[in-house]
């Protein structure tokens, strides 16, 4: 069991780190071409290449998800490996940017995180914390499933994670959402307002507590989980006995 898990995580980790290197190189080139040093203070426009950049982001996510799909042996494992690959890629993306151009200056430095479906902004620390949570939870989930223990997903835990994720997305995209609701938006000049750390920490807690509770492997030998049928499929929700 341990050997199999190690090989699978080694494989997806290698891919994630290589993808992070490639992503960082692309960003280094873009910053050099645009003369970009501070995304929150400088007007930046990709012009006709904006849609190309959005497509590149989507392609990156698809490639990371595909690796997780190939590494896992069933649905829940594929989700776990895919999320682990995404989280590790995100962490090493910033590691390589720090090595290449000494950016960000600190973990509180701002970044334009994503463009899908609207621009995301936030301090680097915020997505890094989510990425660490994703990686830890994914590893715990795989270990728990390898022990023959079903994930302790309950409707309450699932609702908490979904609610936390939606709240975190709102925090990242709040400025873009307000701009869209206000009318026509000049995306090239829109800049973020101060980050809402209290809301983000609430969102992170709503995601972290139930996720770790559902994925933490039980130490008791032979312990079982009683599955509950749901509309999402067999054994999606479970309660521990």
- C-alpha angle 158/235/218, rounded to 5°? 75
Span 229-233, average pLDDT: 36
Segments forming the whole domain that contains residue 147: 2-240
Helices (H), 183-195: none
Cα–Cα distance, 240 to 149 (Å, whole number):
10
Q: Which comes out higher in pLDDT, residue 48 or 96?
A: 96
Choose the weakest-confidence range: 36-50, 58-72, 125-139, 145-159: 36-50
Check residue 50 and give its pLDDT: 79
Choose the weakest-confidence range: 6-15, 117-126, 226-235: 226-235
The count of domains in the chain is 1
Q: Whole-prediction pTM value?
A: 0.84
238 touches 154 (CB < 8 A): yes
**What does DSSP assign to residue 115?**
-
Query: Does residue 239 register a pLDDT over 50?
Result: no
Query: Does residue 22 register a pLDDT over 50?
Result: yes
């Amino acid at each position: 069991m341990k050997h199999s898990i190690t090989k699978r995580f080694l494989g997806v980790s290698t891919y994630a780190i290589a993808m992070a290197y490639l992503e960082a190189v692309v960003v280094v080139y873009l910053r050099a071409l645009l003369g970009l040093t501070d995304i929150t203070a400088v007007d930046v426009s990709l012009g006709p290449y904006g849609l190309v950049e959005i497509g590149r982001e989507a392609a990156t996510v698809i490639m990371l998800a595909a690796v997780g799909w190939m590494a896992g042996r069933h649905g829940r494992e594929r989700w776990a490996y895919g999320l682990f690959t995404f989280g590790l890629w995100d962490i090493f993306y910033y590691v390589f940017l720090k090595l290449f151009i000494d950016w960000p200056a600190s973990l509180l430095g701002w970044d334009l995180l994503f463009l899908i479906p609207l621009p995301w902004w936030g301090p680097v620390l915020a997505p890094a914390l989510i990425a660490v949570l994703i990686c830890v939870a994914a590893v715990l989930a795989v270990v728990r499933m390898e022990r023959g223990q079903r994930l302790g997903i309950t409707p309450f835990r699932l609702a908490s994670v979904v609610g936390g994720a939606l709240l975190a997305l709102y925090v990242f995209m709040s400025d873009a959402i307000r701009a869209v609701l206000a009318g026509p938006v000049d995306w090239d000049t829109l800049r973020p307002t101060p980050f809402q750390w209290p809301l983000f920490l609430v969102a992170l807690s709503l995601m972290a507590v139930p996720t770790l509770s559902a994925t933490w492997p039980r130490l008791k030998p032979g312990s079982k989980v009683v599955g509950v049928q749901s509309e999402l499929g067999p054994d999606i929700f479970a309660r521990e006995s």
